[in-house]
Structure 1
Amino acid sequence: MEWMREIDGYCERLDASYWAEPLNAVTNAAFLIAAFVMWWLVRRQWQAQVRGAGRAMLLVLILAMIGIGSFLFHTHATVWAALADTAPILLFILVYIFAINRDVWGLGFWPALGLTAMFFPYAAVTVPLFKMVPGLGDSAGYAPVPLLILVYAFLLRHRTPQTARGMAAGAVILIVSITFRSLDEPMCAIWPIGTHFMWHIVNAVMLGWMIEVYRRFLKKAI
């Protein structure tokens, strides 16, 4: 793999310089702010060794990693930086699914892990279908996630209605976020700075909110 190959995939980037995407780079601070806020909220449960709080704190750490990885990608814009950008996002998804399976559904470790692993065949089936949706572009790779969240919310609606409503709200926020991401290239001619920076801001809110939904469940379950 050509790790140093340059990638130009966003409206704001006009050349290969480090600060060619200032808005896309700086708005990654939203992930760090969200991570700090959630660390502040989760830390008491973590210190009290509440069941699941360690997983919540791990999600906070990954949220910060998402901000750092995305910053690296929107400054270096290379293949290795793209991996630093996308790997923490996938890790967040997997850890969150496992946390919900383990603590909200109350599954054992191995059943929770096995159900989490089903995300890969689920994505393999749904991503090609979303690629057929006009206008989604490479955002089709993210589209299965809000659908999965809505499925979980529907299935949890009787078991824990508050958590289900929170997850559904998170799915709606993510749909808004994906919309901003998918509009970046089509809007480029009339909006030169693009809309990708809004993907960062709204996505940071969404990820922080999803941790909060999980934290509230843990708090309620004490």
Structure 2
Amino acid sequence: MPGSWLTPIDSYCERLGPGFWAEPLNAATNAAFIAAAFYAFLLWRRAGARDWPSLWLIAVTFVVGTGSFLFHTFANRWSLLADVLPIAVFIYSYFLLAMRRYLSLGWAAATAATGLFLLFNLSFDRLWFSVLPGVTLNGSVGYIPAALALLAVGVACRLSQAKAAGLALLVAAGVFALSLYVRSIDEAVCAAMPAGTHFLWHMLNALVLGILMRAAIVHSSRKGPVFVQD
């Protein structure tokens, strides 16, 4: 493996050295994602075990926990990719599912909406820093589009027939906003909290993913597999 992929990354308050267990709380709390995936899998089985898009989300959530664990133990460039890529896969997969399952868009419209969300996400950093230069939120700016999407799609669902799903998305948006806050203050609280607050980001995000997966599974069981129908 090229040396550049092994370049150490020290981004969090808890890490004070290069050791594998230098972030014990940040590493251990990734078990929350595994627990969320297991919880959702049980719901999926009880709902009939035929909702393949939801099973995909469950699998991705398991990988999110695994990838984040790798990053907070190895803490280098290759493990960073193992951390961020599964998160991105979950975000765009869920957005597409929401367009189809909750808002009942056709494949073309749902794919186009997901593509527009992707473009917004990719351009958001430039927009943010053009308005608020130097305000990095401890690296959390890139997650703001996901929070805005939860809010916007949640409102759209509440205005449509998917009111229960919309409420779940709005609750998830509120939890995610709190999650972003604790992620953003990790470095700032080092003096008072040597372990930092990033571990709370994991626990709150696992709750967010659990809420979202439950909404997908429950909505499918009530309305049928609309994700695969036009």
- C-alpha distance in 2, partners of 1:14/1:161? 46
In the other structure, the counterpart of 1:89 is 87
In the other structure, the counterpart of 1:32 is 34
Contact 2:138/2:186 (8 A) holds in 1:
no
Structure 1: gaps of 5 or more residues: none
In the other structure, the counterpart of 1:17 is 19
In the other structure, the counterpart of 2:74 is 76
2:148 partner letter = L
Contact 1:163/1:214 (8 A) holds in 2:
yes
User: How much has 1:129 moved relative to structure 2?
Assistant: 4.0
Deviates more, 1:98-107 or 1:88-97: 98-107
1:123 aligned onto 2:121:
yes
2:31 partner letter = A
Deviates more, 1:167-176 or 1:146-155: 146-155
Work out which of the residue numbers 2, 8, 16 in structure 2 matches 1:6.
8
RMSD between superposed Cα atoms in Å: 1.6
Secondary structure at the aligned position of 1:18 is classed as coil
Work out which of the residue numbers 183, 192, 198 in structure 2 matches 1:190.
192
Deviates more, 1:163-172 or 1:113-122: 113-122
Q: Could you state the TM-score of these two structures normalised by the residue count of structure 1?
A: 0.93
1:27 partner letter = T
Contact 1:46/1:54 (8 A) holds in 2:
no
- C-alpha distance in 1, partners of 2:154/2:163? 8
User: How much has 1:110 moved relative to structure 2?
Assistant: 3.1
1:138 aligned onto 2:129:
no
Deviates more, 1:93-102 or 1:107-116: 107-116
Task: Output one character per residue of 1:66-98: Cα deviation in whole Å (capped at 9) or x when no partner.
Answer: 000000000000100000000000000011011
Secondary structure at the aligned position of 1:118 is classed as helix
In the other structure, the counterpart of 2:228 is none
Contact 1:43/1:57 (8 A) holds in 2:
no
Deviates more, 1:174-183 or 1:97-106: 97-106
Contact 1:130/1:143 (8 A) holds in 2:
no
Contact 1:127/1:143 (8 A) holds in 2:
no
In the other structure, the counterpart of 2:153 is 152
User: How much has 1:135 moved relative to structure 2?
Assistant: 6.3
- C-alpha distance in 2, partners of 1:6/1:63? 25
User: How much has 1:201 moved relative to structure 2?
Assistant: 0.5
Deviates more, 1:35-44 or 1:121-130: 121-130
Secondary structure at the aligned position of 1:111 is classed as helix
Secondary structure at the aligned position of 1:167 is classed as helix
- C-alpha distance in 2, partners of 1:169/1:95? 19
- C-alpha distance in 2, partners of 1:38/1:128? 36
- C-alpha distance in 2, partners of 1:192/1:135? 21
Q: Percent identity of the aligned residues?
A: 36
Q: Could you state the TM-score of these two structures normalised by the residue count of structure 2?
A: 0.90
Deviates more, 1:154-163 or 1:207-216: 154-163
Structure 2: gaps of 5 or more residues: 225-230
Contact 2:138/2:187 (8 A) holds in 1:
no
Deviates more, 1:72-81 or 1:124-133: 124-133
- C-alpha distance in 1, partners of 2:18/2:123? 35
- C-alpha distance in 1, partners of 2:196/2:113? 38
- C-alpha distance in 1, partners of 2:164/2:97? 17
How many aligned positions are there?
218
- C-alpha distance in 2, partners of 1:213/1:127? 29
User: How much has 1:213 moved relative to structure 2?
Assistant: 1.4
